[in-house]
Amino acid sequence: MAEIGVELVEPPQFIAAADLHALGAELDIAELHEAIARAWMDIRSGTAFGGKAVMSLPEADFWASSGFGEFEGQFTGERLGWKLSALYSVNARYGGVKIIGANAFNRLRGLPRSESTFVLLDKFSLRPVAILEATAMSAARTGVYASEVFNRCLDHRQGVSVFVFGAGPVARCVIDSLAHSAGARVEQVFVRSRTVEGAEALVHAMDGRTAFRLEAVSDNGKLADCSFVITASNARGPIFEDHELNPAAVTLHLGGDEVPAAYLQRVLRRGRVACDDIKTVSRRNSQSLALHFSRQGLSLEAVGPILGILELSAPADWVFEPSEPVAITCVGLPMLDLYAVQATYEKYLRLSGGRIFRASEDCRQS
């Protein structure tokens, strides 16, 4: 029998986003796509798996007890999304837990809407290896959903027009991902946000980073011209009407309850409906697809397989006609975070020689 010795374990190191940036350890867009591709392969083979727990807090309590009730009128039509989430997962080597705190009110304080911290664990001992600031990584891995869906549903098309709802970090990462994986096949991207100024700021920030043309718009007039529509907003309700869409559009929903029921009903009858994972989307019950069924006293988890709803997490290929509308809802699988963080951490170790690197120390030394 092998003898088990006592191993002295160093406390987990905290790696800030500034440390990653100063060392050049952030994943570039190609490295990120490679890490997410490995994640999907292992998810589909069953070697990577995880779950998600979310505690949503009542908005009325925030306005009543935070001392900020006078600002409530500024959030008409927008969800606060005040919630605490934990996304946990394991793969062949590591485990991990991403902790997310979110509240749309944060922007009035000059803070991100949501901030993520990732605890990376050794799989077999489940001891912490490192703690990483993961807000930017979280948005980036969500943006890669756009590449996955484009390659599955639109890979055969050229001159594709795209419509993006939202102008926050996820919308920016969506555009970066499309520029990397589908740039030659995308002709133009229209951006609409809660404010025209927000959409224009995003377009300005992306200037020179894409081969396709970016245009900020103030209404849905260009929606009918787009084969690919991505929702990455924080809207409280539907942000388009079914009749405004191209009848055969592929839509990717990364937000909340922002898709009209009439659209879902049409696609359920005449097209294909999909999500990243039926069970996860159903149990979260915060997005339009899951809510469409729960409002009828049903559950997506129960009826999804009967209706033939597809999953990105399943190994089977998708088969559908180009003329069919496709609606895809993604809630954000924890395993994607794990693989993005793992790749970042391993790059950090290579570049730092295994030592703890601090951006502030590097500045003092220089």
Same domain, 69 and 173: no
Q: What contacts 310, CB < 8 A, 6 or more positions away?
A: 272, 273, 274, 275, 316, 318
Same domain, 155 and 251: yes
Is 8 within a domain? Answer: no
Is 6 within a domain? Answer: no
Cut 0.85: pTM above it = yes
pLDDT tens digits, one per residue of 250-284: 999 998 899 999 999 999 999 999 999 999 999 99
Is 3 within a domain? Answer: no
Same domain, 328 and 342: no
Domain boundaries, position 124: 13-137+335-361
Same domain, 328 and 339: no
Average pLDDT of span 348-358: 85
Same domain, 275 and 156: yes
Same domain, 193 and 244: yes
Question: Which regions of 140-297 does DSSP assign to beta strands (E)?
Answer: 160-165, 186-192, 213-216, 228-231, 250-253, 272-275
CATH code, domain carrying 79: 3.30.1780.10
Determine how many CB atoms are found less than 10 A away from the CB of residue 112: 17
Same domain, 203 and 271: yes
pLDDT tens digits, one per residue of 278-304: 999 999 999 999 999 999 999 999 999
Same domain, 218 and 100: no
pLDDT tens digits, one per residue of 89-116: 999 999 999 999 999 999 999 999 999 9
SS3 124: coil
Is 32 within a domain? Answer: yes
Same domain, 41 and 162: no
Sign of CA dihedral 188, 193, 199, 202: negative
Average pLDDT, the chain: 93
Is 255 within a domain? Answer: yes
How many domains does the chain contain in total? 2
Burial label for 87, CB within 10 Å (0-12, 13-18, 19+), is buried
pLDDT of residue 365 exceeding 60, the answer is no
Same domain, 133 and 151: no
Is 197 within a domain? Answer: yes
Is 97 within a domain? Answer: yes
Is 279 within a domain? Answer: yes
pLDDT tens digits, one per residue of 214-255: 999 999 999 999 999 999 988 888 999 999 999 999 999 998
Q: Which of 35, 49, 10, 20 is nearest to 128 (CA)?
A: 10
pLDDT-derived band at 364, boundaries 50, 70, 90: very low
pLDDT tens digits, one per residue of 183-214: 889 999 999 998 999 999 999 999 999 999 99
Same domain, 296 and 175: yes
More confident position, 3 or 74? 74
Q: What's the pLDDT at 3?
A: 62
Same domain, 252 and 190: yes
CATH code, domain carrying 252: 3.40.50.720
